[in-house]
Structure 1
Amino acid sequence: MKAQGMDLTGLPLNLVTCYLLSIQLPYPYLWAVIFAFLMSVVMLLIARSSPEKGGGVRLGTAAMLVLTGMCLIPTTTLFLSPHGFGVRLFSELFQYFFVAIVFMTGVYAFGRPDGFSRFAYRAAWITIPLSIYGIGRVVLGWELDWSSFVAPTENNYASIYILLFGVALPASQMFSGKRGRILYTVSIMLGVAAINYHSSRAAMVAALACLAMGVAIGRTRLVTAIRILMLLAAGLAGAVYLFRGEDLYNPDSVASLVNFDSNFSNVQRLQYLRAAGYSLVNFPFGQGIGTASAYFTHNVFIEMESPTPHNTAALLATEMGVLGLVSYVLLALYLLGRALATLLRRYRQPVGHRRLFIILPLILLMVSIYDAVFFNGGLTAIYFLAAATVFATPCESVRPLSQA
């Protein structure tokens, strides 16, 4: 595909790859503006150079609904919410529209032949230095103040980045072919170690789930069923071992995720949900975009001040009310349904795609449960860039399983 002598085929993939690099640099909002402009221009050029039937930017119904929701719902709530025009209005509105552009560009890039596997390979290379820095920061005391995304106060965001692009995508690919198997193995090992040093409990559970699902999903239903039963038995034995010790009362341990007695972090998250429910009852159309920071920082339900409820549903319910909550539920149902449908239906896709369509939707759903995705612009873009790989339905050039 060419526009005025320019080959546009690989540009969307190169843009999203460069964006992953830029998010680790200083001044993230400046880079976001630049990439939003570049991505918009490229997508317009692609649409203009493909007027023929079947050309242009091809987006499925589900992807179009996501795009419409990210643009229409925030705009609508501006006129329905009592505090619709807040201090953070512009930055959050820009975030929604920018992520919509990132998502559309990702859907197009990953929908191209070999687009997804090429991106997964590049993303692993980009994520390895971030994982090494995450380990070195704790073990060797490294400090890189110029890095906006991996600063000491951004452990959770860096963990989600590493989880999605350094663990989840490689886990869906490392058993699928010869190319990149060593790279994916190194990326996963470093990624799990970095997440562990970041003390992100939920991200560690998600990373272990990635590996378990990657191993469990085989080429036939029987193989998959046997592997799942074996992993469940191993997981049960591991859980018994953890709960026999004192790790349950260590706030940084994975086992403490189920401790709602003495773990203050867990109890506090329940209070966030309670506060969000109170807001939804009193402000059914939300309190306005950008108001969640003030609401969750100063609230009678919350003992420790925090600008984020650490839950995407709570954030959207507070800022956008019923519209935001319904949009989140629909997206969550789609992701869960995509994973379950892929697991249960006949094996028509390559096994690598099956792992992708099961692993990534479940991980995206988990991330939205333990963090407020839309609270951070960089995190939001990462989240929906990963989601784009699910909505794109990659069309790799491989033989059907019946011929393999």
Structure 2
Amino acid sequence: MRSALVIGTGLIGTSVALALQARGVQVYLEDHDPTQARTAAALGAGTAEPPPGPVDLAVVAVPPAHVADTLAGVLRRGAARACIDVASVKGGPRRQLQELGCDLSAYLGTHPMAGRERSGPLAATADLFEGRPWVLTPSPGDDTEVLNLALELVALCRAVPVVMDADAHDRAVALVSHTPQLVSSLVAARLKDADETAVRLCGQGIRDVTRIAASDPAMWLDILSANPGPVADILAEVAADLDGTVRALRGLESADAQKRTGGTEGIEDVLRRGNAGRERVPGKHGAAPAAYEVLAVHIGDQPGELARIFADAGRAGVNIEDVRIEHATGQQAGFIQLTVEPGAVAQLTAELRERGWSIRR
């Protein structure tokens, strides 16, 4: 691949362009808002000038509602040897292209499973896709060259290719991406009119649950409008669980011993099913979750503290598997949670305490 045309210079499109430019591909940028394309170009994502002729690969990175029409235009004008889109829904655009009478031999639907709460070219990074799954949805009759160019793009972005059926993909992202967004927003919405005293008690748990609720509503309306059926199906199942949980909680506050017992069993059931589901979420490098230990270390909010604790862990010869920071409300301090192999706990604890760190297991 020597040249590419990226249509749509938001977070995903600009990140693709930055990754390709960094690896020697000449990228041309196009957007319905020329200012946004020029912004992406100023960031080093390519040029906002039109390509002099057909490019090797066109990447359509526009909102789902506009994917089919944009793809049809690219295919009809022969703008590229191959054309892909990166929309979060795959079945609908392909069916729409078929209805428009387009020759789909040069097209392949794809979806990089990466993103951020922020949108637009200024949020883009060349490493956004590194180590992330990138779904490819080939169909019988697709040109092998198109698949090869798509795989080359995934490799240049340092992502991990995953081949799926288009409709199976849409059901999968409804479960692991679209429904969590709505559930996060529903929980965060409870905070909108909550008493200030309650909000001041927010800890890491509520921050974790509501993190993605900060996402752009307009972007998510586009995504959910393109995949409403599968999302509604899963939310209906969640609603049934919620109804059962509400009944169980009402049972716990009942004076009837039998109802309290039923309530206890109901709550335990949903919590244990949650445990079992969480254990299936892939861990580090996509492998099965490993059994790690967590050390919580008190850390001040001063420059250099994070660098110091990582350096001290390095001196102990301990690899940090994961890290998160729990901020203390109203204080210039918090806890950094270091996830390590169980066998490294004693060594790391001793090293950090020797260097003056306060540790909570």
TM-score (norm 1): 0.22
Greater strand content: 2
Q: TM-score, with normalisation over the residues of structure 2?
A: 0.23
More helix by share: 1
Instruction: Specify which structure has the bigger relative contact order, considering alpha-carbon pairs within 8 angstroms and separated by 6 or more residues.
Output: 1
